[in-house]
Amino acid sequence: MANPGFLRSTDGSDADTGATWALANATMTGAVADAAAGNTIYVSDNHAESTAAGITLASPGTPGAPLVVLCVDDTGDPNPPTVLAATGTITTTGNSSITRTGCTYNYGIILQCGTGAVSPSILMQSGGTWWEVFEQCKLRLVVTGATASITFASSTILASRLEFVNTTVRFGATGQRMAPGRTNFLWRGGGIEAGGTVPTTLFIGASSGGLAGTYEIIGCDFSLVVAGKNLVDVATNRAGGVFIFTDCKWIGGNVTVGTHAGPGGSTVRALNCHSGDVVLAFYEETYLGTSQNTSTPRLDVPDGADDGATPFEMMLSPSANVGLFMPLKGQPIMRWNDVEGSAITLSVHTFIDRATALTDAEVWLEVYHLGTSGVPQAVHVTDRRALLAASAAQPASGATWNNAATNPQAQILAVTVTPQERGYLVGRVCVAVPSVVVTADPQLHVS
């Protein structure tokens, strides 16, 4: 039977560093203590370390020379090992946390934190500038305490980065969560591991200061986030983090829960995330409201937006916080332009159910185009009313919408621009009136 333990092959000249599996360190703490920046620690696929005390793994690595930790097949004791594995475990029991600091790349490691009705945490970093990657790893809160968390960093940590690659997380109680701090986070592949308890809310702001980073989650499986569950608590995330979910799967839970704290609060964006065979799904929520794609109502005009087969529209639902100087903005609508030096008119169709039409102080189109000759400098143009002018109703469009509205109002928003360079035109529908749902065709029409 192979010997469980650690081997640091980049300096195997003396027995103290674990030149063979028989001489390997018995714990990850010991292996990290022996290591230097740029070294590699090999973890046996049979390793099953457990301690009743909290552990701190203080990596000596730097961003340019991280400590590398690889779980490997130790059969035959090759040096260096040649086959990767993903079964080595590091476990704490009782009310014992796992804390990590420094710069480390990890492959195939399983971290299991605590036992019983207590609330220790897996704390990714507690000090200093750091960078850490977990690939093919599993992070598990075994404890059943309601407030245990996988915490990324405290509110004092700046200029730091954490990355998950095909890595899963598991929880032991509905009140547990992932608690990002002031760091940038990228999660590519993986998701919530089956076999545990799905939290009521997956991401919730750290109690020591909330969010101030960017959190990109790409290609993850959140199918366990079912009805009654949520991805992000926006009320707790008071420092203004940006969550971007792209190409992810979930069944029917809420994207967000809670009331946004203020204009600089969290932004949550879901791009092409759905439980079924649906492409071009879009959802964005901020303090100012939500913008999302919908398949109904359907606009009956040529060249409307579609996903290649099915027409879709954009629905903007402003909160009570919008106004002339702080509108809810829909997703960017892009179109390639080959015109140079000639005026063109760009327009977007909109629809509301209201007795009176919307004015140019309530809804408008803003467009960025390459309007500066010789350089790719954008020019901003809008049909919002001038600041000292009186409001006027936006024009009726005459378009037909497949909608059983009581007071249908089909309008068109239009601006005229004179591009000086070939490139993309970018338009956004802006809504500045509370409690009026505006449906827009996310297609820039050119005339």
Instruction: Quote the pLDDT of residue 76.
Output: 81
Instruction: Quote the pLDDT of residue 130.
Output: 80
What's the one-letter identity of residue 291?
S
CB 198 within 8 A of CB 169: no
Which one, of 98, 91, 164, lies nearest residue 134 by Cα?
A: 164
Which one, of 295, 316, 291, lies nearest residue 305 by Cα?
A: 295
Instruction: Quote the pLDDT of residue 308.
Output: 66
Is 362 a member of any domain? yes
Q: What is the pLDDT of residues 178-200, one digit of tens each?
A: 988 777 899 999 999 999 999 99
| Confidence tier at 281 by pLDDT (50, 70, 90) | confident
pTM of the full structure = 0.91
SS3 29: helix
CB 285 within 8 A of CB 267: yes
> Which residues pair with residue 109 across a beta bridge?
88
Q: Which two tokens stand for residue 444?
A: 């820039």
Q: What is the pLDDT of residues 140-149, one digit of tens each?
A: 999 999 989 9
Which residue matches tokens 């803003």? 366
Is 316 a member of any domain? no
* CA 267 – CA 260 distance, rounded (Å): 9
Q: What is the pLDDT of residues 7-61, one digit of tens each?
A: 655 444 444 456 678 778 889 998 898 888 998 999 999 999 999 999 999 999 9
Environment class of 195 (CB within 10 Å of its CB; exposed 0-12, middle 13-18, buried 19+): exposed
Q: What residues make up the domain containing 356?
A: 328-446
Instruction: Quote the pLDDT of residue 303.
Output: 65
CB atoms < 10 A from the CB of 211, how many?
Answer: 30
Q: Which two tokens stand for residue 110?
A: 């399983």
Instruction: Quote the pLDDT of residue 435.
Output: 87
Is 89 a member of any domain? no
Q: Which two tokens stand for residue 349?
A: 């169709």
Q: What percent of the chain has pLDDT over 70?
A: 87
| Confidence tier at 382 by pLDDT (50, 70, 90) | very high
CB 74 within 8 A of CB 46: yes
Q: What is the pLDDT of residues 47-70, one digit of tens each?
A: 999 999 999 999 999 888 999 999
Is 216 a member of any domain? no
Which one, of 380, 383, 372, lies nearest residue 419 by Cα?
A: 372
* Number of domains within the chain: 1
* CA 77 – CA 138 distance, rounded (Å): 25
CB 320 within 8 A of CB 434: yes
Output 123 or 420, whichever has higher pLDDT.
420
The overall average pLDDT reported for the chain is: 87
Q: Is the pLDDT of residue 279 over 90?
A: no
* CA 12 – CA 269 distance, rounded (Å): 48
Which one, of 50, 44, 42, 92, lies nearest residue 67 by Cα?
A: 42
- Contacts of 157 by beta carbon, 8 Å cutoff, 6+ apart: 125, 126, 127, 128, 129, 130, 181, 182, 183
Among 16-20, 128-132, 337-341, 359-363, the range scoring the smallest mean pLDDT is 16-20
CB atoms < 10 A from the CB of 117, how many?
Answer: 12
Q: Is the pLDDT of residue 210 over 60?
A: no
* CA 343 – CA 346 distance, rounded (Å): 10
Which one, of 183, 239, 243, lies nearest residue 218 by Cα?
A: 243
Is 175 a member of any domain? no
> Which residues pair with residue 155 across a beta bridge?
none
In 10-135, where does DSSP find H-type helix? 28-34
Q: Which two tokens stand for residue 397?
A: 């469009």
Instruction: Quote the pLDDT of residue 178.
Output: 92
Q: Is the pLDDT of residue 2 over 50?
A: no
| Confidence tier at 156 by pLDDT (50, 70, 90) | low
Is 396 a member of any domain? yes
Is 303 a member of any domain? no
List, as one string, the DSSP characters of 189-216.
EEEEPTTS---SEEE---TTT---SEEE
| Confidence tier at 124 by pLDDT (50, 70, 90) | confident
Average pLDDT of the residues in 106-114: 97
Peptide bond just before 297 cis, omega within 30 deg: yes
Q: Which two tokens stand for residue 18?
A: 């674990």
CB 150 within 8 A of CB 169: yes
Average pLDDT of the residues in 387-407: 88
| Confidence tier at 81 by pLDDT (50, 70, 90) | confident
**Residue 28 has what DSSP assignment?**
H
Output 336 or 81, whichever has higher pLDDT.
336
Q: Is the pLDDT of residue 278 over 90?
A: no
Average pLDDT of the residues in 102-112: 96
In 63-195, where does DSSP find H-type helix? none
Is 278 a member of any domain? no
Q: Which two tokens stand for residue 45?
A: 């696929």
Instruction: Quote the pLDDT of residue 237.
Output: 58
Peptide bond just before 199 cis, omega within 30 deg: no
Instruction: Quote the pLDDT of residue 19.
Output: 66
Q: Which two tokens stand for residue 371?
A: 């309007």
Average pLDDT of the residues in 95-117: 94
